[in-house]
Amino acid sequence: MPWRIILGRWPGRAIRASCAALLFALALLAGRGAQAQFVVCNQTLDVVNVAIGSDGGSGFTTEGWWIVGANRCATTLRDELEARYVYVYANDVFGRSVLYGSTPMCVGQKGFRIVGTDACYQRGYRPAKFLEVDTRAVSRWTLFLSPRS
């Protein structure tokens, strides 16, 4: 009888251990395929709205909005970074700037993708000053938004 109990328990443990190992391996493999390239992490206590500007070779493009909760991160660009500089604009839910930049680009009221940086008002957008982030020509970068001091 004791042998039966031991043998009866062993296959269950082996199956559970094998399943756990398989799930762990799949999680590792899945994580490799979904690597973020430009991430914005919000370390403030406020929700922020983020827009990203980049130069794709044929001119600047701005895109937004990513809504990033307090102590959360958002992947804004999924492709590996090709340009050295990424431009970021962020404001809180009251419309106050969270970042202070000097590069003029356009943003939209709701979700947008805008090609070009000139004549914002004439095209139905509004101008905004983006912060230039030097990614040092690496392929992946994370920007941390910190509380104002």
Query: Is the Cβ–Cβ distance between 138 and 80 less than 8 Å?
Result: no
CA 67/CA 24 separation, integer angstroms: 31
**Which residue do the tokens 């493009």 mark?**
61
Whole-number pLDDT of residue 81: 80
- List the domain boundaries for the chain: 1-34, 38-145
Query: Is the Cβ–Cβ distance between 52 and 62 less than 8 Å?
Result: yes
Whole-number pLDDT of residue 139: 86
3-state secondary structure of 70: coil
31: enclosing H helix or E strand: helix 2-33
Q: What is the pLDDT along the chain (149 residues), one digit of tens a residue?
A: 343 333 334 454 544 444 444 444 444 444 444 455 999 999 999 999 999 999 877 789 999 999 999 999 999 988 888 888 999 999 998 988 899 999 999 999 999 999 999 999 999 999 999 999 999 988 899 999 998 76
Q: In what order do the strands lie in the sheet with 72-77?
A: 72-77, 38-42, 141-145
Q: Which of 42, 37, 35, 36 is nearest to 144 (CA)?
A: 42
Whole-number pLDDT of residue 82: 80
Maximum pairwise Cα distance, the chain: 86
Whole-number pLDDT of residue 6: 35
Q: Which two tokens stand for residue 120?
A: 């914002």
